[in-house]
A = this chain, B = another copy of it.
Amino acid sequence: MALKTPEQYEESLRKLKLKVYLQGELVENPVDHPIIRPSMNSVKKTYELAQKPEYADLMTAVSHLTGEKVNRFCHLHQSTGDLVNKVKMQRLLGQQTAACFQRCVGMDAINAVDSVTFEMDQKLGTDYHERFNQFLLKMQQEDWTVDGAMTDPKGDRSLSPSKQADPDLYVHVVEKRQDGIVVRGAKAHQTGAINSHWILVMPTIAMGKDDADYALSFAAPADAEGIFYIYGRQSCDTRKLEGGKIDVGNREFGGHEALMVFDDVFVPWENVFMCGETEFSGLLVERFAGYHRQSYGGCKVGVGDVLIGAAAVAAEYNGAAKASHVKDKLIEMTHLNETLYACGIACSAEGHKTASGNYLINLLLANVCKQNVTRYPYEIARLAEDIAGGLMVTMPSEKDLHNPEIGKVVEKYFKGVSDVPMEQRMRILRLVENLTLGTAAVGYRTESMHGAGSPQAQRIMIARQGNLEQKKQLAKAIAGITQDKAN
C-alpha cells in the first residue's frame, strides 16, 4: 500500500539524518524542535487526511504508473478533473492548517519535470524521462514528501548565473564523473525542506549557452552527504519557545523556509534529469512556476477562509457583528477570496494534455491567478485588521492573563460581550495577529507576494500569453481599418 499513515511519516522523518542550523546552532532533533514542529504537523496533515474516506477523492488518486492509490501530492495529473481536485485539496488543507503545508512544491515539480524531460528526450535523444519515471515510482511507493527546489540565491539580479562574482550563487555542476555528477551551490527560500524525504532540484531561470553548468535538474535524498540547511527566521518565531498556548496564535500548525546548501554533493546519473540542456531550462521554469501559481489559487484561499472566519468571530466577541460596515467588509473579504479561487479553478478547468500525457494548466490564467494573489490577501488582511480592532496588537501576553495578581484585571478589562470568556477573545485576536503579522503572515503575505515568482514575473508571462496581436486585429476590424500603413 502506497499511503503512509501520519505516524509512519513522522517516524520516517526521525530516521533521516538532516543537518539543520537554527539561530546559530546545530539542531539535535528537528522533529521535536518547538520552532520546527508546527511545520511538520502541517505536512503530517497531508498524510492524515489521505487516510480519511470523506476526503479520498481530493486527497488521493490512482497512479498512472501502477494503478494503485497514491497520495495526490505524488500524482501526475491525468485530466483537468485532477487539476481541479488539486486546487480543492489545497483549499481544504489551507482551511485545516491556516498555514503553508509545504508539500505542493514536490507535486508541482514532478508534474513539470515529467513533461519537460519527455520533450527533451524527444528532441535531443536523451533518456531523462525514463530515469525520472523510476524516481517517480519510488516516490509514489514510499509516499515521499519531496522538496521541489527551484530558487537560487541569485546574487546580483542584473547578472546571469555564470557572470556572478561568486560562481556558486546558482547551483551548478563542478565535476562530471562516470557514475554521476558533483554539484555545488544553494537553493534559497526552500519551503518545507526540513520535512522532506527527497529533494528535486530544478534551474531557476531561462539560460543562455554560457550557463550550461547551471542548467541542472536532479533528485537527491534530503540527508545526502554534503547537504545542510540553515533555517529561516520568521516574525514571532520565538513565541513558540515560550511554552504558552495562546500567544502563538496557531498552536499546532505552521510552515518554514530554509537555505539548502549543496557542498559538493554527489548525484548518480540515474537521478539526473537535466544537465547542460540550456534551451529547456526556461521551459521547466515556466511549467513549474505555472503549476505553482495555480496552487496559490487553492492554498491561500483556504487560509483566507480561516482569516475571514476569525474576523467574523472577533466582531461577534466585541458586539459589532451586526454593524452594516462590518458585514460589508466580510462580504468584500469573501468576494476577494473567491475571486482567487475562481482563478485557481479556471486555469485548471482550461488545462490541456502535454506530450508526455499529464495535464498542464492554462498558463495565462495561472499567471493571472498568482498576480491576484500578490494583491488580495493583503487587502483581506487589512480588512481583518480593521474588523479585529487595535487590541490585537496592544493586548498583554498570556502570562499576564495567567498571573495570579493581574490575571483578573486582564480578564476584566479585555472582556467583550459578557457571555464569552475573555480568553477566547484573546485566542481569536492572536490568530488574526498570527495571520497578519506573525509567523503565518510570512506565508499568507510575503509568500503570496514572492512564492512561485514575484509579481513582475507574472506580468511578463501575461504579456507573452495575452495575444495582443489578435486583440489589435479585432480592434482594427471593428474600426474598419483595412490598411494601416501608408502605401
Contact = CB atoms under 8 A, between A and B. Distances in A.
A104 interface: no
What is the copy number of this chain in the assembly? Answer: 4
B431 A312 contact: no
A393 B335 contact: no
A400 B229 CA distance: 11
Contacts of A395: 232-233
A403 B188 CA distance: 19
B188 A396 contact: no
For A245, A308, A479, A484, which residue has the most chain B Cβ atoms within 10 angstroms?
A: A479
A177 interface: no
Interface residues of A, number: 161
A390 B447 contact: yes
Contacts of A228: 406
B474 A305 contact: yes
Nearest to A239: B238
A351 B161 CA distance: 47
For A257, A369, A413, A427, which residue has the most chain B Cβ atoms within 10 angstroms?
A: A413
A474 B14 CA distance: 30
B306 A471 contact: yes
A308 to B, nearest CB: 5
B95 A474 contact: yes
A475 B406 CA distance: 28
B313 A475 contact: yes
A320 B154 CA distance: 11
22 contacts: A21-B403, A98-B475, A158-B320, A165-B418, A232-B395, A235-B437, A235-B438, A258-B394, A305-B474, A306-B474, A330-B463, A331-B459, A339-B339, A345-B345, A346-B349, A385-B449, A390-B451, A392-B446, A393-B447, A428-B481, A431-B479, A437-B437
